[in-house]
Structure 1
Amino acid sequence: MNRASSPTETGIGARLRHIRKAQGLTLEQLAKRSGLDKSFLSRLEREAAAASVASLLKVCAALGIQPGVLFEAPKTRLVRKDEAVAAHFGGVGVQDHILSRGLDGEVMVLRTEIAPGGHGGEEPYRFPANTDFITVLKGQLTVWVAEEEYRLGPGDSLTFSGRDPHTWRNPGPTPTVVIWVLCPAP
């Protein structure tokens, strides 16, 4: 993939299939480990279905991998706007771009664009990061962390443990743009 000319979305389905096969697992075995439907996993591997954040985390846990393994990290610390790696960590109406990743995986920074009504999934999820930090650049975001609701607007920030069950939604009529910082990087 040529990252210098355009931000190309990573093929997480193909990467999941490669990791599953390298571990000698069948789709049926992965379905049992993850608690997800075999046909859904097949569609996910073929890029014919999108995973919620919670579903993607279940698959990664079942494979014994961190979600960050599924995405290429930039080779340098400088990431120009048009060179940010597009990724999809799950959710509906969401486009993630990996802006930076520490050389040793100690931090991951994402710019996420969320369409009106876009969300991280109906089911709260836990992310394998000790600390999540989010700041809203544009729009509105409602975040639920361990049964607490936070309404964020431009310039607002929230820090919490990624290990606490959480999810989020753009409640507004316009797109929302946020920056996520995950430490250590998953």
Structure 2
Amino acid sequence: MNKTNQTLDLAQHLGKTIRAIRLENKLTIANVSDLAGISRGMLSKIENAQTTTSLDSLVSIANALGVSVSHLFRGYDNVGDSAQFVKKGQGMEVVRRGTSCGHSYHLLNYDHGPKKYFEAFFLQIHDDSEEFPDFDHPGTEFIYMLSGEMEYRHGQHTYVLQPGDSLTFDGNTPHGPGALSHFPIVFLSIIIYTDSFHEQ
């Protein structure tokens, strides 16, 4: 395979992967382009393999999608360790729906395989200046409180979570933080995806 064909194949692979992750997370081209700081037209061209892109742009797109850069290359030339070690404070900061409301999200794991089995997040809430929307997603979520105190809504129920408390629930049911107190509120959130999610 000559260099031109290799470049084209890689561009096609990256475009398909970026589009698949964007759709999986129910994000529009406008959402991702705004978060990544690139134009919508450029992102569309990248997804359709109509242009090549710089590593800096790929890093920005990966951050906007909440994945690692290596995740974008999986299945093409993916070489990596089977274990993932994340030093304190070095989890990838990602943008999710709650970010603009005061959540700080740090992703603690990056899946390398063809399926997403789980995601682990380290979350911090620093004040009660905003109301949080309800969230819903496939799979089962597990929350473990590290510090602070908050009410957490799940469907018609509300739970008061304090350090050492945990809560496990169906992610498809609307859920999210309620009344907040004793800042900073810090907790782990682990989402386990089911086989039915992979089959969609």
- TM-score surpassing 0.5? yes
Q: String of CA shifts for 1:144-171, please: whole Å, max 9, x gaps.
A: 1011001100010000011111111461
Equivalent residues in 2 for 1:141-180, closer than 5 Å: 141-169=150-178, 171-180=180-189
Q: CA, structure 1 residues 42+180, in 2 after alignment: closer, same or farther (shift >3 Å)?
A: same
Whichever structure has more helix as a proportion of its residues is 2
CA contact (8 A) 2:32 2:64 kept: no
Q: Does 1:72 align with 2:67?
A: yes
Counterpart position of 2:127: 116
Task: Give, in angstroms, the shift of residue 101 of structure 1.
Answer: 3.7
1:125 alignment counterpart = 135
Q: Which of these residues, 174, 191, 199, is aligned with residue 182 of structure 1?
A: 191
Please state whether the residue corresponding to 2:120 is helix, strand or coil.
Answer: strand
Deviation of 1:175 (Å): 1.2
- Higher Cα radius of gyration: 2
Shift of residue 121, structure 1, vs aligned partner: 2.6
Alignment RMSD (CA, Å):
3.7
Is the CA contact 2:123–2:188 (under 8 Å) kept in the aligned structure 1?
yes
Q: Is the 8 A contact 1:115 1:170 kept in 2?
A: no
Deviations 1:20-67 (A, max 9, x none): 9x99xxxxxxxxx99x9xxxx85774249xxxxxxxxxxxxxxxxxxx
In the alignment, the residues of structure 1 paired with residue 107 and residue 188 of structure 2 have an alpha-carbon distance, to the nearest angstrom, of 10
Among residues 89, 93, 96, which one is paired with 1:82 in the alignment? 89
One-letter code of the match for 2:151? T
Q: Aligned partners of 1:159 and 1:119: how far apart in 2?
A: 24
Q: Give 1:89 deviation, angstroms.
A: 1.4
Given the superposition, is the C-alpha separation of residues 142 and 118 from structure 1 closer, same or farther in structure 2, using an over 3 Å criterion? farther
User: Structure with the greater relative contact order (CA < 8 A, sep ≥ 6): 1 or 2?
Assistant: 1
Provide the C-alpha distance between the structure 2 equivalents of 1:160 and 1:150, rounded to a whole number of angstroms.
12
| Structure 1: runs of 5+ lacking an equivalent | 1-14, 24-32, 49-67
TM-score, normalization: structure 1?
0.59
Report the 3-state secondary structure (helix = DSSP H, G, I; strand = E; otherwise coil) of the residue aligned with 1:137: strand
Q: Distance in 2 between matches of 1:115 and 1:42?
A: 28
Q: Contact (CA 8 Å) 2:92, 2:108: kept in 1 or not?
A: yes
1:60 corresponds to: none
Aligned residues: percent identity? 22
Aligned residues: 134
Please give the alpha-carbon distance, in whole angstroms, between the structure 1 residues aligned to 2:32 and 2:86. 29
Conservation of the 8 A alpha-carbon contact between 2:149 and 2:181: yes
Gaps of 5+ in 2: 1-14, 37-62, 71-79
Q: Is the 8 A contact 2:125 2:185 kept in 1?
A: yes
